[in-house]
Chains A and B, each alone.
Chain A
């Protein structure tokens, strides 16, 4: 064996030996330092209103992917039409990455209020997961605005508010099956089969040797 061969083999063996003591390869957190964190938190663009979500559901918008981050028990009781369940504690499960980090769908996270979905969004964001939104106000807001919309008082009724109210009334009929007068219990949302999401980030395909 030549001297150079021995040196190269020595370096490789040394590198291999060093590797034993190193950690497994995990994704890097993409948010570094408090400034970036504050900036991310203050991005209002992550919110989507219940009205917008309702509109997308009613229009059967194929780009909408609703993700219920509450527990499976809560999900069983009530959820939005077409939503899939990824409980908050399994968000980082690699199997779910296809749903939570892609740019094909508008992924909307929701929970009962805003804060749990906000936290989930921030965690995903900090690992570089893109393309997620948070339904502002969560299911509580959904109930207030879509399932039981309140008619604005006459004195503050502007054309815009009236339009919004009419839309919500229409959405209420769609989601609850309520008659125009009177209410009935919310219709149980249909449980969807898992949508097939193909991760379509800027993933470059490899070549051959």
Chain B
């Protein structure tokens, strides 16, 4: 758990692990229930025939954002006790590109590959093998290849609103507008695809 109970010492590490375990079960269950263990669903974002992933992730982000922000203002939860990482924009950009490539080639994200492996999909097990190879490959070549890259574009802990010089509330409102607009655009895009595809294609893609 990243916050706020654990950093305040209100939970001991064992309970923290237990809560993590329970949240993990819920997360995996819902990933499967939403069909995210289907590789076509994830790849669909990139081809444009399925906007589910975008919608789910944006909804989750916006819900968490609004919930935390409003509850902080009401004095319920101290957001400053939660964790957010430092920004290294060049390293993140390159890492994001690699991850995106992995997404579209493999059809899983690290989380969904584990869920899919649990449902017995062989391609997911192969994907996890690839993840492991990547991790160990990174570890053993870290000093020679990656050490410099890792610190590139260092910006410290950045808050976008502060960086832009606007109030946090305004930024949040703009972000909500942006995500709602993206729902709309992706939905249109998906509908356009559906009209183009034949019945068999739709069944094949699991739409």
Residue tally, chain A, CB below 8 Å to B? 29
* Docked-complex contact A19 and B7, CB < 8 angstroms: no
Of chain A, the residue at the smallest CB distance from B157 is A94
CB of A28 within 8 A of chain B?
yes
Report the minimum CB–CB distance from A83 to chain B (whole Å).
25
CB of A205 within 8 A of chain B?
yes
* Docked-complex contact B83 and A23, CB < 8 angstroms: no
Interface members, chain B 63-117 (any A CB < 8 Å): 63, 66, 69-70, 72-73, 75, 78-80, 83-85, 109-111
Of chain A, the residue at the smallest CB distance from B172 is A19
Report the minimum CB–CB distance from A196 to chain B (whole Å).
14
Which of B3, B173, B179 has the largest number of chain A CB atoms within 10 A?
A: B173
Of chain B, the residue at the smallest CB distance from A21 is B169
* Docked-complex contact A25 and B79, CB < 8 angstroms: yes
**What residues of A have a CB within 8 angstroms of the CB of B170 in the complex?**
20
* Docked-complex contact A204 and B70, CB < 8 angstroms: no
Q: Mark B1-30, 1 if CB is under 8 A from A, else 0.
A: 111001101000000000000000000000
* Docked-complex contact A9 and B180, CB < 8 angstroms: yes
Of chain B, the residue at the smallest CB distance from A205 is B83
Of chain A, the residue at the smallest CB distance from B84 is A206
* Docked-complex contact A203 and B7, CB < 8 angstroms: yes
* Docked-complex contact A19 and B169, CB < 8 angstroms: yes
**What residues of B have a CB within 8 angstroms of the CB of A27 in the complex?**
78, 80
Give me the interface of B with A, judged by CB distance under 8 Å: 1-3, 6-7, 9, 57, 59, 62-63, 66, 69-70, 72-73, 75, 78-80, 83-85, 109-111, 161, 167-170, 172-173, 175-177, 179-180, 183, 187
Give Cα distance in the complex from A204 to B2, angstroms: 6
Partner of A16, one of B78, B83, B161, B176: B176
Which of B59, B70, B110, B172 has the largest number of chain A CB atoms within 10 A?
A: B172
* Docked-complex contact B70 and A22, CB < 8 angstroms: yes
**What residues of A have a CB within 8 angstroms of the CB of B173 in the complex?**
16-17, 19-20
Give me the interface of A with B, judged by CB distance under 8 Å: 1, 5, 8-9, 12-13, 15-28, 201-209
**What residues of B have a CB within 8 angstroms of the CB of A19 in the complex?**
66, 69-70, 168-169, 172-173, 176
* Docked-complex contact A13 and B180, CB < 8 angstroms: yes
Please give 20 more A-B residue pairs, beta carbons under 8 A apart, in addition to A16-B177, A19-B70, A22-B70. A9-B183, A12-B66, A13-B177, A16-B173, A19-B69, A19-B168, A20-B172, A21-B169, A22-B69, A22-B168, A24-B167, A24-B169, A26-B80, A27-B78, A28-B80, A202-B9, A203-B83, A205-B83, A205-B85, A208-B110
